[in-house]
Amino acid sequence: MKSILLFRLGGLGDLLVALPSVQLIRRRFPESSLSLVCRAEYGRLLEEAGVVDAVFSIEDSRWLPLFDDAPEDFREWLSGFNFILGWLQKETSRPFERKIFDRTASCGRFIVYEPQSGIPVSRYFFDRTFALLEGRPQADDKFEDCHRLPSLKTKGRDQRLPRKPETPARQKKSAVIHPGSGNETKCWPLENFLAIIEFLHQKGIEGCLVTGEAEARMERKILDSRFPPGWSWLGRPPLIELAGLLEHAAVYIGNDSGVTHLAAACGTRGLALFRKDKEVAWKPFGRINVLSAADIATITVESVIEKIGLIML
């Protein structure tokens, strides 16, 4: 196939759980051009990493025909792709699939997650994508071969990494902590994360607390907090810089969030704090461990410290 169009809508975590599937397609069709429809700021991460060749923002006006009558030139553009594949979160999103294939002569399908499967979204998408491509070359590709985001060789990305000691002493380990999520009910209390920072400082570990737009509500409290030496607050970094930080970090700690899935894609060791009802579907892959409870606020600082100790052995 010469050209493939991929769809994955939603936030950063939604896109990254489809990363193993996208990389599988990249491996199977190395000579094909892969175009991805998603939120542009997230898709550029995959474009910079060479996973896809082009990104089309779902917010672009070109997609308005999906919600109205499609002009002929839009139908022709869609039909220029040899294959169209997408991953959807809910069965109620099926009308979106029908609108796509009603407007093109291209072949393809959309894979919809089934919560009753009892497996994480990332693994479900990968297994169904693998089955769809069965019989193609490189049929021995495994999920574990496809879940890592290739290293991003972006100029200047190391500028925000923790400073190296000026003396010949052993370089200190670094950590990245992300205390937020798009939903407040999925957030461990900020003061608990600050206690973890103090614990890591006592162990000689430097690092940074990272927040994005979704954590605006925390910013006043963070501004009023005092960080120990070697620790700082990094607000709203570009995703590519954040990926560089995570790739170099000795440990990551966060909630059920897109940044946690980015840490998993970067191969970072870490710990994610989850609500129990979200764990099965959204458990991150890779080297991120999960500590969960029915109410995330009931997870104790002591249990997190104990888990961090096991992770960093």
Asked if the model's pLDDT at residue 55 lies above 90, the reply is: yes
Question: Rounded to 10 degrees, what is the CA torsion of 130, 133, 134, 137?
Answer: -110
The β-bridge partners of 112 are 88
The β-bridge partners of 34 are 4
Asked if the model's pLDDT at residue 170 lies above 70, the reply is: no
The pLDDT-based confidence of 98 (bands split at 50, 70, 90) is confident
Q: Which residues are CB-contacts of 9 (< 8 A; sequence separation ≥ 6)?
A: 37, 38, 39, 58, 88
Q: What is the CATH number that goes with domain 3-146? A: 3.40.50.2000
Angle at which helices 239-248 and 40-48 cross, to 10°: 50
What is the CA angle 55-32-60, rounded to 5? 20
Q: Which of 152, 107, 113 is nearest to 133 (CA)?
A: 107
Q: Which of 130, 149, 109, 175 is nearest to 17 (CA)?
A: 149
Tokens of 74: 């839009």
Asked if the model's pLDDT at residue 37 lies above 50, the reply is: yes
The β-bridge partners of 235 are 211
The helix/strand count (H/E) of the chain reads as: 13, 11
The whole-chain average pLDDT of the chain stands at: 88
Least confident of 45-49, 67-71, 88-92, 234-238: 67-71
Q: Alpha-carbon torsion 214, 215, 217, 219, what sign?
A: negative
Q: What pLDDT sits at residue 173?
A: 80
Q: What pLDDT sits at residue 195?
A: 97
Q: What pLDDT sits at residue 69?
A: 60
- CA 46 – CA 55 distance, rounded (Å): 9
Asked if the model's pLDDT at residue 313 lies above 50, the reply is: yes
In three-state secondary structure terms, 101 is: helix
Tell me the residue type at 255.
Answer: N
Q: Which of 16, 61, 58 is nearest to 35 (CA)?
A: 58
Mean pLDDT to the nearest integer, 181-192? 94
- CA 20 – CA 286 distance, rounded (Å): 11
What φ, ψ does residue 58 adopt, rounded to 5°?
-65, -15
- pLDDT tens, 242-262? 999 999 999 999 999 999 999
Mean pLDDT to the nearest integer, 230-246? 95
The pLDDT-based confidence of 36 (bands split at 50, 70, 90) is very high
- CA 212 – CA 7 distance, rounded (Å): 25
Global pTM value: 0.89
More confident residue, 71 or 221: 221
- pLDDT tens, 265-283? 999 999 999 999 999 999 9
What is the CA angle 32-37-38, rounded to 5? 135
- pLDDT tens, 107-165? 888 999 999 999 999 999 999 999 998 765 565 689 999 999 998 754 333 433 333 33
Mean pLDDT to the nearest integer, 219-230? 95
Chain region(s) in the chain for CATH 3.40.50.2000: 3-146, 173-311
Beta-strand pair 83-88/270-275: unpaired
Phi-psi region of 312 (alpha: psi -120 to 50; beta: other; left: phi over 0): alpha
The answer regarding whether domain 173-311 maps to CATH 2.30.30.230 reads no
Asked if the model's pLDDT at residue 297 lies above 70, the reply is: yes
Tell me the residue type at 37.
Answer: V
Q: What pLDDT sits at residue 48?
A: 94
Q: Alpha-carbon torsion 145, 149, 151, 153, what sign?
A: positive
